[in-house]
Structure 1
Amino acid sequence: MRAFLRANAPWAGLLNDGNVTPREIIDGEPFALSKGVSVLPYQVPHRAEFTDTYAFLFSGDLQRLFYCPDIDSWDGLTFDIDNTLKAGDTVLLDGSFFSEEELPHRDMALIPHPLVTDTVGRYANKPYDLVLIHLNHTNPIWRASPQQEWIRSQGAVVGERGQAWMLA
């Protein structure tokens, strides 16, 4: 990946000017992001055209946040997702599509993402706050709708633009 970044604009310029410093991420190996905040990367299945896809557990003195905006499926992971989610106070998960009916003229198998109904069924009403993020423009939960009300009734919420969490 580092070679790709160095050879292609606009990333090459950012690297050459010292604005960005690449850091290798190794699955399952934590690293310090800043004073008081550590990050534990988890490789997750998703299209890997140029690089691998990761979820991250951010841990700070104030709280922990699990971030997984892009994934093919909750099945077949190489780590225990249930125990990992329990390690977070807030869990931000892929909410790309509410149902298969959103794209009636597309084969949803070619656009792999877990459906919101499955994600909420598995991970809502747990000891952490579930926030759905990374919504496709066709997803009815990004605005007030019966589907958004259903999500709230299940103990989850939809992420909002500008939302922030204090970790440390």
Structure 2
Amino acid sequence: MATRIMILNGPNLDFLGIREPHIYGSTTLGEIEAGCNEVASLLDVSLAFHQSNVEGELIGLIHAARGSADAIIMNPAAFSFTSIALIDALKIFDGPKIEVHISNIHARDELHRHSIISSASTAVICGLGPYGYIAAILAAVQRLGRLPATIPAALRGLEVSGKA
């Protein structure tokens, strides 16, 4: 059976590519979803990709993940800094919970520097831009025992941009 991952995106992420491109870049959420689906197909992973500006909808999706997902990847966006309700919901989910932020929140202004959601997360990935979602998929699959904990020998000699 394929690994099942639910990817949740919080408020205003539906405006990626338009909103503050100097912080979040020009990649849209649709482009991020397409990239995630491409990687998921290579790894035999089934993805459910969601975005909501409503905290209660995200909580409902986390509750639903208990029976439909092996791992959750979440970019809580602004809820990162305010939502005890999301923390409580995430604590109910038993599988890996990977928190993703497109920007490096630790280098941001004081309002965007400390995610309280991290207290309920298995791991946090920030500052990698849209690639953070791909890293989160790989991390979730590894946490579920489907990838090795170290770099496989097959990747050690991998050529990057024509250079060994």
TM-score by length of 1: 0.36
Q: Whose strand fraction is larger, Structure 1's or Structure 2's?
A: 1
Q: Whose helix fraction is larger, Structure 1's or Structure 2's?
A: 2
TM-score by length of 2: 0.36
Higher relative contact order (CA 8 A, sep 6+): 2
> In terms of Rg, which structure is larger?
1
